[in-house]
Amino acid sequence: MRAALRISLIGVATVLVSGGIVGAAAEPDHGNRLEATFTETRLAVQDRPDLGIRQVISKGTGSLDGFGAATEIGAVSIDLAVTPCGPGSSTSTIMRRIVVSQGTLVVKTLAHRCPTPTGLLATGEFQVDGASSTGVFAGAWGTGSEETEIAPAPASPIVTISGKLHLAQPGDGD
């Protein structure tokens, strides 16, 4: 009798554990990390030299780790009159809309754009905008760093985003 009970309990435990593993594999595995890389194309540039402002709209393709292939739209506002790292540098605010099959993630970045021997390097800190995000990202929060390598045209800017992503919805791996 005890042997039969033991075997039954082991069988139930095995089913529960296997079900948990299978269930976990079906969910995106982002591990509370936000890791994304995009290659961008500039779609529009608007200069206002009288104000020292440049606005750029770009579109990128790449991936969002744990969520797969992604596209993004970046809206960049650059203040050319502010030079945080010397001549040729500037500050920028960036709003990115990252789209994957599970939803749209919006991140906002404040960055400094500094000259390098190969072009500009924009480095900044981002914050997830959960109120503007949709799908699995609705209500999410997180912060981290963003780096954009901006080589002279015709080269494409390369965007790398790395940090924390906390999903608000139950069952989303949090």
Same-domain check for residues 15 and 92: no
Same domain, 20 and 77: no
What's the pLDDT at 91? 98
> What pLDDT sits at residue 26?
35
Same domain, 35 and 24: no
Residue 111: partners with Cβ closer than 8 Å, 6 or more residues away? 91, 92, 93, 94, 122, 123, 124, 125, 146, 148
Report pTM.
Answer: 0.79
The segments of the chain whose pLDDT lies below 70 read 1-30, 170-174
| Domain total of the chain | 2
Residues 41, 123: one domain? yes
Q: Verify that 89 and 149 share a domain, yes or no.
A: yes
Are 3 and 44 part of one and the same domain?
no
Print burial letters for 76-106: b (CB count within 10 Å at least 16), e (below 16).
bebbbeeeeeeeebbbbebbbbbbbebbbbb
Q: pLDDT exceeding 90 applies to what percent of the chain?
A: 75
In a domain, residue 136? The reply is yes
Q: What is the average pLDDT score of the chain?
A: 85
Structural domain boundaries enclosing 21: 1-29
